[in-house]
Structure 1
Amino acid sequence: MNDDELRGIGDMARVSGLSVSALRFYDRAGVLVPAAVDPATGYRRYAAGQVRLARLVAGMRRVGMPLDEIVTVLDEHAGGSAAGDILDVHLRRLEDGLKDARREVQRLRGLLADGQPTSATWPVATASADLDPSDFVRAVDGVRFAVSDDPAWPALCGVFVEVRESCLRLVATDRYRLAVCDVPARVRTGGPASVVAPVAVLDHARMLLDHDDGEATVDLEGDQITITATAGQISGCDVKGEFPDHRRLLQQRVAGSRHLVDAGQLKERLAEGPTKEMYREQDGMMTDVVVLVARPGGEIAVANGDEAPGPGSVAVNRAFLLDALDAPGAEQLEFELGGPTSALAISVPDNEHFVSLLMPVRL
């Protein structure tokens, strides 16, 4: 390549929108490596064809995409894949963050106005919402498997229940997995409001609402939740303790390659495939671990016993994975693999209202 065809780092910064220091950073990170480096001075020079890549990096940097996702977009774009899906995931994170910020600013304005939190400006708001009983049952079934039974973490032994704009959200996590399910709801009064409901209350409510042809009502008031069905009513108080910020966990998850999975077929492979017994230090339990691998054709396979985990694989708790396959009640699922150190995301195709995350196991 002729030196006359190369751009110096200053010129590259001018035409790409990346600063000189940013170009140096992305060189060290292996994201945007110069076409040539002077061995005597260390001066970087870039090819004309790298300008477009640099502009892509600059744009993703401006919207706050993390480095690993920038790398994934560039890799998938180079391979001809639809890298736009990763941009869409990041855009949804930004939109959710903006909604949260607007709610927080509204609460802050209320505090600045009178110095006291009110039901309109503080999270302990009241709310009442109606929904179809079948949707409530579906939401409970979608997250129930992720509820903790560890008394050392009392809040995780409950389910986060939130009345949001036009939906009811249920969230459960035991630190090793997370499940979120949104179902349509007709908000009558108040909101947004939330409590961490005792799981026994939700189990009882599910029993009342199963095969109910009427309408269910969820009322949140302070630390109290009341669920009303045709067959009866049940109430409970907020479980004490701190429930994790599930929005942050969802926003920070690493976008990866997406794969359609037949739940039944994968369960058969899990029954036949090899597992590795591992000791879990957090609770002293022995667990069976499987390694999932994304094959070149897009198939998700269970790795054989002597196959080393690579960039397109993730190790997860086998029992937890089986639970997650059953929870949505769908035959077709979508897996998102971000690599061996990223959570495995499981969702239903063309449905943004359910997602579960399985934390990776380090082998």
Structure 2
Amino acid sequence: MAESDGLITIGVLARASGLTASALRFYDDCGLLAPARVDPLTGYRYYTEAQRERAALIRRLRAIEVPLDTISDILSGDTGRAERLLDEHVDELKQRALDAALVAERIKQALGVGSIGDRVELSATLLAEAFEQVRAAAASSREIPVLAGILLEASANSLTLTATDRYRLSTRTVVSRDRQGADWALVVDASDLDPIITWLRGLDEIVTAPTEQGLRLIGDGTERHCRVIDEPFPDYRVVLSNLAPVRTRVVTARKPLLDLLENTSPTVRFEINNIGLTVSGNHLPATVTGSDIDLHFDVATLLPAVHTALGPDLMLDIAAADHPIVLRSATDGDLTTLAMPTRQPAER
């Protein structure tokens, strides 16, 4: 299958729409943007040129946190219904318009960053959020120094941040606004990040660039530096690729689940069946596909993963009760976190 056949690859669609390939796979699994064709031998996804506009619209709607089912209504319903649904978000849209005007004014001004070779420009707010979300999975000890860091990888149209302490793993991809130079990767020391995150939250645009001394961050005429840990980072992609096949998938609203976990006992039970999701006796609306399954979690393990998820919706990919579950979400990029269920409490 080639692009000359009238179809484009997932990579081409990602670059054209401003979404990552992982986010496009997420929207395929949600039933929101199914590829025009999937190669039965390789599993490669192919899309039509007409789907480029739909992908771009999905990204814009997710940027203002429109729920997945509402996006489906907006894109498949009549214009009157779409207008009514969008009006429900008018306050957020007004605020975003003000923010966009401020960003546009700042971009017109000289950044004063001088000559930078390999560089990635992106939203400072999104980078601050990504640092906070991912560093929860970094090791707190220095037994293995590199695990106390966060891996940054610049490639294609995105910056990916990953951390793991061998028991947890979290990886977040942020779509870049501009990119120059070659691909690069380095591991920043997570202990340097508190003042960096505070600084980033006061900026609009940020330029990240690797140097021999560490990571250089430039924004609004000032700059900061993060130390790097000069050791090979574990190949987390091997961990993700070797996960067992998904037997059960759950899509549910994030906030009700988060509220429940913040006000429950140290251990929770997930009962998943064709009726939906029940957490320690509390029913939550959910879309479930696949086999029925019961799971138990330590709240201390699961709560951070749900708390840092992106957007209003959360997808749980489950292989078995004794395998890590994969929590996936996608807004302004995508976030993937692994959380290990605990053993079922012994019956008395």
Other structure's SS at 1:200 match: helix
- Answer yes or no: is 1:236 the counterpart of 2:226: yes
CA distance in 2, matches of 1:91, 1:349: 27
Secondary structure at 1:190 match in 2: coil
Q: Letter of the aligned partner of 1:358 in structure 2?
A: A
Task: Tell me the SS of whatever aligns to 2:154.
Answer: strand
Instruction: Give 1:179 deviation, angstroms.
Output: 1.0
Query: Closer, same or farther in 2 for the Cα pair 1:93/1:208, shift >3 Å?
Result: farther
Counterpart residue number, 2:280:
302
Q: Deviations over 1:325-359 (max 9, x none)?
A: 11124332111121112211111268872111112
Pair 93,196 (structure 1): closer, same or farther in 2 beyond 3 Å: farther
Q: What TM-score, normalized to structure 2? A: 0.57
**Secondary structure in 2 aligned to 1:314?**
strand
Of residues 191, 196, 210, the one that matches 1:205 is 196
Task: Map 1:217-296 onto structure 2 (within 5 A).
Answer: 217-221=207-211, 224-230=214-220, 232-254=222-244, 255-271=246-262, 273-275=264-266, 289-296=267-274
Structure 2 unaligned segments of length 5 or more: list them.
1-30, 46-116, 283-290
Q: For 1:136, what is the secondary structure of its paired residue?
A: helix
1:328 equivalenced with 2:306 (yes/no) = no
Counterpart residue identity of residue 264, structure 1: K
Note closer, same or farther for the CA distance 1:170–1:273 as it changes in structure 2 (3 Å cut).
same
Residue by residue, what CA displacement relative to the aligned partner does 1:133-183 show, whole Å, maximum 9, x if unpaired?
Answer: 122123213312212202212211111111111111101112222111111
1:360 to 317, 341, 346: 341
Stretches of structure 1 that go unaligned for 5 or more consecutive residues are 1-81, 96-125, 276-288, 305-309
Name the residue aligned to 2:53: none
Opposite residue 275 of structure 2, the aligned amino acid is: G
Q: Structure 1 residues 303, 245: CA separation in 2 closer, same or farther (over 3 Å shift)? A: farther
> Which one of the candidate residues 288, 291, 316 is aligned to 2:297?
316
The aligned runs of 1:3-42 (5 Å cut-off) are none
Given the alignment, which residue of 130, 140, 154 partners 1:139?
A: 130
Residue 20 of structure 1 corresponds to none
Mapped partners of 2:167, 2:207: distance in 1: 31
Q: 1:205 to 1:272 in 2, by over 3 A?
A: closer
**Alpha-carbon separation, structure 2, partners of 1:263 and 1:344:** 16
What does 1:110-189 correspond to in 2, within 5 Å? 127-185=118-176, 186-189=178-181
What is the total number of aligned residue pairs between the two structures?
230
The 3 A distance-change label for structure 1 pair 300 and 350 is farther
Name the CA shift for 1:298/1:216 in 2 (closer, same or farther; >3 Å).
same
Relative to structure 1, is the Cα distance of residues 297 and 91 closer, same or farther in structure 2, using a 3 angstrom cutoff?
farther
Q: Please say if 1:216 is aligned against 2:232.
A: no
Query: In angstroms, what is the RMSD of aligned CA positions?
Result: 3.4
What is the CA-CA distance between 1:210 and the residue it aligns to?
0.3
- Structure number with bigger Rg: 1
Give the letter aligned to residue 249 of structure 1. V
Q: Percent identity?
A: 20
Residues 207 and 217, structure 2, Cα contact 8 Å, conserved in 1: yes
| CA deviation profile, 1:293-336 (whole Å, cap 9, x unmatched) | 313323252379xxxxx971333331121111111243321111
- 1:196 paired residue number: 187
Equivalent position amino acid for 2:173 in 1: D
Separation in 1 of the partners of 2:308 and 2:221?
Answer: 25
Amino acid corresponding to residue 211 of structure 2 in structure 1 = E
TM-score normalised to the size of structure 1?
Answer: 0.55
Contact 1:261-1:300 within 8 A present in 2 as well: no
Amino acid at match of 1:324: A
Paired position in structure 2 for 1:123 = none
Counterpart residue number, 2:109:
none
d(CA) in 2 for partners of 1:172, 1:91? 33
Q: Relative to 1, partners in 2 of residues 1:312 and 1:91: Cα closer, same or farther, differing over 3 Å?
A: farther
Alignment check: 8 A CA contact 1:320 1:358 kept: yes
| 1:219–1:188 Cα change, 3 Å | same
Relative distance call for 1:326 and 1:273 in structure 2 (3 A) is closer
Q: Secondary structure at the match of 1:239?
A: coil
CA contact (8 A) 1:315 1:362 kept: yes
Q: Does the Cα contact within 8 Å between 2:174 and 2:333 map onto a contact in 1?
A: no
With over 3 angstroms needed to count, the CA separation of the structure-2 counterparts of 1:91 and 1:294, relative to structure 1, is farther
CA distance in 2, matches of 1:326, 1:219: 29
Distance 1:300 1:252, change over 3 A: farther
